[in-house]
Amino acid sequence: MQKIKQRLTPQNIFMLVISFVCMFFLTTASPFYEFNRSLDANTMYTVGKGLLHGLMPYKDLFDNRGPLIYLIHSVNAVFSYRSFTFIYIIESLLLFLDIAYINRILSFKLSRRTAMLCSFLFIPLAFSSRIFFYGDLPEEYAMTFVFILIYSCIKYNWFDMPRRYYIVNGAFVAILFWIKYSLIIPWVIFFVFVGIACLVTKRFKQLFIIILDALIGFLVVTIPILVLYLATGALKAMFYAYFYLNLTHYHVQDATLSYTLFKVMYPTFGFHHHLILIRTVYYIMIGLFIYSVVRYMESVEVHGGNKALLSFIVFLDIVLTYEAGGASFSYYLFACEPFIIFYLFVLGLLIDRYIADKKYLIWTLSGLALLGIFATNHNYRSSMFVAKPHQMYEVSFTKKINASKDKSILNYHALDLGIFTYTGTYSKDRFFIRNNLQYAPMAQYQRKYLHSLKYKFVVTKYYSDELLPKQDRKFLKKHYKLVAKNWYNYSSHRQGLVALYERK
């Protein structure tokens, strides 16, 4: 308790308030948004609600994310059955830890005010609509944990790090492993490096202690999850969906060197009328990043082995994350955004050199940096305070469904469109969505559900140039009537139509 009181400094309280205020506008999980249009968030929430009704992920409700993310959303459903308030609180606390550790890391070399300014500038840079989308990302947990890992590698030499850090990092690995296992790359690099270094320097006893501590942290998180799925008979289904199907059916990519190089070069050679400009900026940013990392390693006093360790974590994590799927969806790269800190460090050196003594100017720039979230992130446009309610399908569809005594809903041929969330219902169908997994039974079972005619309402999403299969359109026309349709716009991405059908 005494330690907590010591942490409640005016600076930490200020950063905590800033985090909650910024995340209030950044994530559509916050109370500022009547509806969360994130397909992934609603999918995770529907599975989480199913847990409260005795339905197990994978076995009773099929999806391919990690089991821990559903437990988190299940807790959210306990707090609020029609909103994402608990998720908003978690995201705000994660953001607080982000800027707190950025501030600590930069304060090793920069002045206090400059470190704070750079910490605030990180928010609009990292949480842009292009990467962050609507929020509630598994990568948010990875970002925070990476900052803590970087801080520990700077503050302590790899061979005399306090034991609690190995236990905590073991727990971080477990949390990320059971949320999205591709996010554990920095810790694989960290533990492999430390293990080899211990063997080379003949620190065998220390290596045993490190393995033991990391294993303790990992098992504290892992054992309850395995026991839950074993006790409910869902363990086999979990391993099949989360590991086997993800490795064999989800965005399986060519891992050859030539393809990897192509993906690295693709952002500069895409078909675009500003090709030369894009290519130039891209290479300048790469050059600046390498310079920034080198400059930081030269400026901060850390053990030589730790400089090598940090360099491996930074560059290998970026390359391996990119290879693991960064070119598929841009938000995959959100987990690499902690490394923006090196750009901010170089900027901080310039600020300390030229305007460090101009206190009011720095605080003015800090305020402008925070306001930058409205320039880089456009989620606020989908708030009910900004958008018109009649333009939102969630409003019209929910009113029509809730007016009926029969609220049975089939979410057809799309990810979760949020109708289960806002009608206060949940799905009992195993294949309640059709996600991005290339898995034939999803489409087959969804079509069986549709043809069973047991659903009063069918909600689906399609594009004007990419309609539902012809047989589905014919069946809907014969047995259902179209009662409403509206535009769907995912952030700044392609629009589609969301349609609601009612059984005749």
Domains of the chain by residue range: 2-252+282-381, 389-503
| pLDDT for 266 | 54
The DSSP line for 206-229 is HHHHHHHHHHHHHHHHHHHHHHHH
CA atoms within a 13 Å half-sphere pointing along the CA-CB vector of 325 = 16
pLDDT digits (tens, 9 = 90+) for 257-304: 555 555 555 554 444 445 566 667 777 888 899 999 999 988 888 877
Q: Worst-scoring range by mean pLDDT, 25-34, 217-226, 265-274, 323-332?
A: 265-274
Residues in contact with 164: Cβ distance below 8 Å, sequence separation at least 6, in sequence order? none
| pLDDT for 260 | 54
Instruction: Report which of 58, 57, 33, 48 is spatially closest to residue 78, judged by C-alpha positions.
Output: 48
pLDDT digits (tens, 9 = 90+) for 302-355: 877 889 999 999 998 888 876 654 445 677 888 889 999 999 999 999 999 888
Instruction: Report which of 377, 349, 439, 367 is spatially closest to residue 115, judged by C-alpha positions.
Output: 349
Calculate what percentage of the chain has a pLDDT beyond 90: 66
Residue that wins the pLDDT comparison between 355 and 99: 99
CA distance 314 to 295: 14
Residue 57: helix, strand or coil by DSSP?
strand
Confidence of residue 407 (pLDDT cuts 50, 70, 90): very high
**How open is the CA angle 54-58-62, to the nearest 5 degrees?**
100
Arithmetic mean of pLDDT, 396-406: 93
CA distance 77 to 61: 16
Give φ, ψ of 297 to 5 degrees. Answer: -65, -35
| pLDDT for 270 | 44
Instruction: Report which of 49, 451, 433, 461 is spatially closest to residue 441, judged by C-alpha positions.
Output: 433
Handedness of CA 302, 305, 309, 311 (dihedral sign): positive
Element (H, E) at 460: strand 457-462
CA distance 343 to 392: 39
Q: In the predicted model, is pLDDT for residue 73 greater than 70?
A: yes
Element (H, E) at 412: strand 409-412
Instruction: Report which of 413, 374, 411 is spatially closest to residue 393, judged by C-alpha positions.
Output: 411
Mean predicted lDDT score pLDDT of the chain: 88
Residues 263-285: b if buried by 16+ CB within 10 A, e if exposed: bbeeebeeeeeeeeeebeeeeee
pLDDT digits (tens, 9 = 90+) for 108-139: 999 999 999 999 999 999 999 888 989 999 99
